């Protein structure tokens, strides 16, 4: 999938993150263009979640190193709440509000943060839940929904904020195998629609199919970065080869995931 490079949305320049003296990210540099789908893969503990959490300012990077449309996201004058609306995140564990219905989960942000009227938010929320195949679950509470359905509500909720960039942190890792496909289909549709996305995943077939670029992380660093065909057919580093062979040989249990290559 070759797309013309859009404008630069996000520039990460030598990102380091230390927790209690432990350097978890050791200098990550990554540029994200509008419309790009970047899949981030790598072993557990390599820093993938920390990278996404720094991008979304759920963690604070050690220095000023992330720029959104050229603006330093750690600058005092940077509007963090506006930024968070533009950079939506979808978590492995869905993180829905348990006492709100599917539709309320989706409309809450637009009504409270974007000051959209309840009526307009409901209309759009209904349309978004239809889009993710949950038009018949508007009034359902999260505990009555399957994991795959809950994750699709979470995606609709992220979309309701009209994000410019979506961050997915292993969106299918908590799901039973039969539900992985329905969530990947929704993400695949978003990729086709031109949404800019950073997707941490262990679904190798999916990563190969939808991504414009694969970023392979190990031990707090980007070890390899290339187009998916190159990465999956001719990885350059021993570390990537080893990771891929483990995933292919042992399947999902090795690093969690589902699809075979
Ligand atoms: P991945 O998502 O690739 O599995 P993480 O980003 O979750 O990796 O974690 C990378 C490393 O950082 C791990 O060793 C983890 O224990 C550590 N880590 C992550 N978050 C914290 C935290 N809040 N405090 C201390 N250590 C953390
Ligand atoms: Mg993680």
Q: What is the pTM of this model?
A: 0.93
pLDDT tens column, 181-221: 999 999 999 999 999 999 999 999 999 999 999 999 999 99
Q: Which ligand is nearest to the CA of 42?
A: 1
pLDDT value at 253 more than 60: no
Ligand nearest to the backbone CA of 220: 1
Element (H, E) at 198: strand 196-200
Residue bearing the CA closest to ligand 1, atom 26: 19
The alpha carbon of 46 is separated from its chain's Cα centroid by a whole number of angstroms, namely 16
Number of residues that make up the chain: 261
User: What does the pLDDT average to over 26-37?
Assistant: 98
For every residue of 119-172, DSSP letters joined together read HHHHHHHHHHHHHTT-TT-TT--GGGS-HHHHHHHHHHHHHTT--SEEEEESTT
In the predicted structure, residue 254 carries a pLDDT above the cut 90: no
**Per-residue confidence band for 4, with pLDDT thresholds at 50, 70 and 90:** low
Q: How far is the CA of 18 from the centre of ligand 1 (A)?
A: 10
- Ligand 2 mean position to 46 CA, how many Å? 8
Q: Which residues line ligand 1 (CB under 6 A)?
A: 19, 24, 44-50
User: Helix crossing, 118-131 with 102-112: angle to 10°?
Assistant: 130
What are the tokens at 192? Answer: 């086709």
The environment of the single-atom ion ligand 2, i.e. residues with CB closer than 5 A, is: 48-49
Task: Write down the pLDDT at residue 67.
Answer: 98
Residue 258 confidence class, pLDDT cut points 50, 70, 90: very low
Give the model confidence (pLDDT) of 90-134 as tens digits: 999 999 999 999 999 999 999 999 899 999 999 999 999 999 999
């Amino acid at each position: 999938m070759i797309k013309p490079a859009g404008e630069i949305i996000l520039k990460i320049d030598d990102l380091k993150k230390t927790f209690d003296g432990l350097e978890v990210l050791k200098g990550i540099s990554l540029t994200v263009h509008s419309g790009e789908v970047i899949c981030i893969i790598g072993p557990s503990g390599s820093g993938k979640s920390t990278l996404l959490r720094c991008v979304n300012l759920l963690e604070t990077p050690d220095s000023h190193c992330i720029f959104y449309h050229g603006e330093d996201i750690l600058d005092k004058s940077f509007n963090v709440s506006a930024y968070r609306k533009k950079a939506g995140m979808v978590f492995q564990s869905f993180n829905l509000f348990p006492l709100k219905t599917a539709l309320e989960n989706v409309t809450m942000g637009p009504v409270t943060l974007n000051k959209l009227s309840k009526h307009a938010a409901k209309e759009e929320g209904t349309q978004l839940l239809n889009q993710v195949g949950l038009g018949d679950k508007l009034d359902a509470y999260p505990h009555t929904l399957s994991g795959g359905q809950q994750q699709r509500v979470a995606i609709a909720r992220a979309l309701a904020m009209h994000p410019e960039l979506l961050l997915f942190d292993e969106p299918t890792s908590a799901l039973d195998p039969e539900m992985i496909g329905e969530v990947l289909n929704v993400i695949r549709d978003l990729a086709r629609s031109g949404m800019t996305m950073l997707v941490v995943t262990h679904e190798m077939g999916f990563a190969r199919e939808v991504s414009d670029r694969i970023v392979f992380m190990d031990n707090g660093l980007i070890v390899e970065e290339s187009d998916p065909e190159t990465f999956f057919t001719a990885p350059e580093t021993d570390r990537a080869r080893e990771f891929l062979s483990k995933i292919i040989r042992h399947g999902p249990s090795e690093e969690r995931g589902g699809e075979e290559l």
